[in-house]
Amino acid sequence: MAGKPWPGGGSLRRLVDTPWMGLLGLVTFVLAWHLAALGSDPWILPTPAETLTALVTLARSGALGRAALATTGNTLTGFALAVLIGGALGAAGGIWAPVRRFVGPVVTVLQGVPQIAWVVLAMFWFGISNDRSVLFTVAVAVLPIVFTSVVEGVRTVDRSLLAMARSFRTPPAMLARDVYFPHVLSYLFPAIFSGVGIAWKVAVMGELLLGGSGRTIGVGLLSARTHVDVPAAMAWVLLAVLLGFALEYVVLRPLRRWLEPWRHTDEGRA
Amino acid sequence: MLTLTAICHDYGTGLVLDRVSLTLEPGSVVALTGPSGCGKTTLLNIAAGLLEPSGGSVESGFLRAAYVFQEPRLLPWRTALDNIAFGLKALGVPAAERRNKARTLGYRMGLDDTALRQYPHQLSGGMRQRVSLGRALAVEPDLLLLDEPFSALDRSRRAELQELLLGLIAERRLAALFVTHDLAEAVRMGDELVMLSPAPSRVSDRFRPDRPPAERDDLYVYETLSALLRRTSQT
């Protein structure tokens, strides 16, 4: 509570109001993990330090870098497919109501299919140990989110801006680029943020169950399981989590800042 | 010259305009007033060629019309400068040239470089409407269509922008069709006032102020206004 003195002095009170609380939470989590690991068999739960050591070993062997690249590639390619197809369908559905009525229910059905079911179906349709099955699984899992957000984006474009553009006889290509696209982006980005999280997890799951051609994170996890190498398994999990974060904060958020600079300005002299 | 003859319009819910006629000469301002919902905006859209009237004829000798709306209708994702340049972009003017034109015009509209770099949400209401006016003027129209452009502004901002607009109209010899529900504004701005009755609207009165706009001070506006109101209540 702001304004009320915190029992035990000012420094602790200042801490609870800052982002450092988040770091404190993470440190507590790692500490609890460490204590739990000390009390259990190393075959079952390695300590954080052992996990890090396993991660470094994997990195030194080059397997880590290769897997990180391959899985990021799978995620982004599958995701790009979903954005292209879902975006095109969504734009058409946003503009023409018949397209929306035609495609909408199909997309709802796709969205209802559990992701693990897509993996099973991909085995039948594309076979195992190839990239196409993984890409298909990722794309089909993310496509409904992209479609829905683009439809909503196109439909909610400010009518008064369209009338303004019409009064200047704006050509269709410019109307799409200067009026529709920036507005749709504001709907698409939140969908991309949640979609990439899903794509990332589905990619690792697909890689583990479908194999795939590359030495991916999923394949690494599978091999750790085969060798009952728990520290290595934990290291792969850690890598997946870290890369997921990196994707959002190193790729997507800067991309949004670049595409939507107007959102990142302070209130001026208004 | 713009000539509207016996314009009728019906959106399918009854007659909105009933045989409205008016003439707009190059370099002159016609102020169109009337109660809200009387079809002023409809008439403006018809004059702009954005709407086909149900009846009557529109003859326009003007080469290019530009529209200023009641709300600024700026693109939130474009800077003030790029918003001014919007119409030029629609005409296919290359980027460097349209930015230069927009900047020069922005200065004339009373916007400095800082303001021109800002996005609409960072600007005040008055500045946003200056950008909107600049966007219309950038395409070098010979006919301006204004739909209550200053009605959302406070008194002093409105007076500033009225003066700016009158200056620009004189400077560029523009014709303007100026819709307003504010009779005082109509007296201040118009070379001719056309007053519409409630829907289905007809022209209820026409009036020409006997002084040029530059010489219409507050006293003149209020005296003319009261004379007009007396005249209206007698008929």
Query: Looking at the predicted structure, is the pLDDT value of residue A268 above 50?
Result: no
The answer to whether B212 and B189 have CB atoms below 8 angstroms apart is no
- Residue from the list B69, B89, B122 with its beta carbon closest to the beta carbon of A270: B122
| B 167-226 → A contacts, CB under 8 A | none
Average pLDDT over residues B214-231: 84
Q: What is the pLDDT of residues B156-192, one digit of tens each?
A: 888 888 889 998 998 889 999 999 988 888 888 899 9
CA dihedral of residues A153, A156, A157, A159 (deg, nearest 10): 170
Q: Do A178 and B121 touch (CB under 8 A)?
A: no
Q: Is B139 on the interface with A (CB under 8 A)?
A: yes
Query: Looking at the predicted structure, is the pLDDT value of residue A3 above 60?
Result: no
Q: What is the pLDDT of residues A80-105, one digit of tens each?
A: 999 999 999 999 999 999 999 999 99
pLDDT band at A144 (very low <50, low <70, confident <90, very high): very high
Average pLDDT over residues A226-232: 87
- Which run of H or of E encompasses A161? helix A159-167
Q: Which two tokens stand for residue A76?
A: 């982004």
Q: Do A165 and B90 touch (CB under 8 A)?
A: yes
The dotted CATH code for A47-269 is 1.10.3720.10
pLDDT score for A266: 56
pLDDT score for A267: 46
The answer to whether B186 and B178 have CB atoms below 8 angstroms apart is yes
Average pLDDT over residues B101-127: 93
Distance between alpha carbon A202 and the CA centroid of its chain, in Å?
A: 10
Higher pLDDT, A119 or A128: A119
Give domain limits for chain A: 47-269
| B 68-127 → A contacts, CB under 8 A | 69, 71, 73, 75-79, 86-87, 89-90, 118-119, 121-125
Q: Do A269 and B123 touch (CB under 8 A)?
A: yes
pLDDT score for A213: 62
- Residue from the list A160, A171, A265 with its beta carbon closest to the beta carbon of B73: A160
For chain A, helix, strand, coil in percent to 5 are 80, 0, 20
pLDDT score for A1: 42
- What residues of chain A lie within 8 A of the CB of B125, using their CB? 270
Strand partners of residue B164:
none
Please give the model's pTM, rounded to 2 decimal places.
0.81
Residues 6+ apart with CB under 8 A from A203: A71, A74, A75, A78, A134, A137, A138, A216, A218
Q: What percent of chain A has pLDDT over 90?
A: 32
ipTM here:
0.87
pLDDT score for A2: 46
Nearest CA distance, A268 vs chain B (angstrom): 4
- Residue from the list A160, A170, A265 with its beta carbon closest to the beta carbon of B71: A160
Average pLDDT over residues B103-126: 92
Query: Looking at the predicted structure, is the pLDDT value of residue A65 above 50?
Result: yes
Query: Looking at the predicted structure, is the pLDDT value of residue A8 above 60?
Result: no
Average pLDDT over residues B85-107: 94
Q: What is the pLDDT of residues A41-52, one digit of tens each?
A: 877 888 888 889
- Residue from the list B75, B90, B118 with its beta carbon closest to the beta carbon of A169: B90
Q: How many CB atoms lie within 10 A of CB B1?
A: 13
pLDDT score for B97: 95
- What residues of chain A lie within 8 A of the CB of B119, using their CB? 262, 265
